Amino acid sequence: MKLLHLDSSPLGAASASRRIGAAVAKTLADATPGTTVAYRDLAATPPAHLGGELLQALRPAPGAPAPDSAAVRAELALTEELLAEFLAADVVVVGAPMYNFSVPSQLKAWIDRVAQAGRTFRYTAAGPEGLAGGKRVIVVSSRGGQYAGSAYEAALDHQEAYLRAVFGFFGITDVQVVRAEGLAMGPTVRDAAIAEALAQGERLVETA
Ligand SMILES: Cc1cc2nc3c(=O)[nH]c(=O)nc-3n(C[C@H](O)[C@H](O)[C@H](O)COP(=O)(O)O)c2cc1C
């Protein structure tokens, strides 16, 4: 099995998603001997945001010369590396804090690199089609508030809902969320939420 583990919290040892994500990745890897793990710290080494030159190189406008500087070639190589890593993975563990109701921009920058027409999805006469199906994605969601209660709270969630939409668009139907929420609601709620998420992570091997 090939497991890709992504972290996107910049908070190091203080990060809940890093702690829970590491435990989830270890549980899944230990359950399948021979698993190879690729790890990418998107907070330590974030992919650059899509700029004009890179976009032009990725999607050249008809008749326009594609930019070919050393910097663009390096960014194209990184894009290929991220795509290959993602496409090769059987299981992807995504550490994803909620930032301003969505995901950290470092994680969004990774999504912008792997969301490539013809690689992870394509448009057909019948509509969009995902090309990266057959994987299992575990989203390790951490957030200061609570969003899994009322419809109003759920409507504010552009983090888990967004990641489900993105991976679904890529054709991935097996998306599970390991959630620690209410992390800013005092130490009692925080500790219980992290303990529950760690326990949920351990149960993932039973639901594989
Ligand atoms: C810049 C920033 C924005 C945040 N925005 C939200 C938010 O919109 N909603 C929320 O519930 N928590 C928010 N939080 C709290 C984080 O989701 C929470 O601290 C979580 O534990 C972060 O994940 P981590 O511990 O893995 O770093 C925010 C935190 C930061 C630093």
Number of domains forming the structure of the chain: 1
For 30, 35, 102, the CA distances from 55, given in Å and listed in that order, are 40, 35, 23
Cβ(97) to ligand 1 under 6 A? yes
* Strand ranges for 13-156 from DSSP E: 36-41, 91-97, 121-124, 127-130, 136-143
pLDDT at 208: 53
Q: Is the CB of 99 under 6 A from ligand 1?
A: yes
Does the CB atom of residue 137 touch ligand 1 within 6 A? no
Nearest CA to ligand 1 atom 10: 144
CATH of residue 85: 3.40.50.360
Q: Is 200 in the pocket of ligand 1 (CB under 6 A)?
A: no
- Exposed / middle / buried, residue 184 (Cβ in 10 Å: 0-12, 13-18, 19+): exposed
Which pair of structure tokens corresponds to residue 92?
């992807």
Q: Which of 98, 102, 160, 179 to mutate to test the pocket of ligand 1 (most atoms within 8 A of CB)?
A: 98
Maximum C-alpha span of the chain: 61
CB of 79 sitting under 6 A from ligand 1: no
Measured in angstroms, how far is the CA atom of residue 186 from the centroid of ligand 1? 14
**pLDDT per residue as tens, the chain (208 positions):** 999 999 999 999 999 999 999 999 999 999 999 999 999 999 999 999 999 999 999 988 888 888 889 999 999 999 999 999 999 999 999 999 999 999 999 999 999 999 999 999 999 999 999 999 999 999 999 999 999 888 999 999 999 999 999 999 999 999 999 999 999 999 999 999 999 999 999 999 875 5
Domain, as residue range, for 29: 2-207
Reference 117, options 54, 58, 50, 57; nearest CA is 58
Total residues found in the chain within this entry: 208
100 CA → ligand 1 middle, Å = 7
What is the atom index within ligand 1 of the atom nearest the CA of 10? Answer: 27
Residue 42 C-alpha to ligand 1 middle, in angstroms?
16
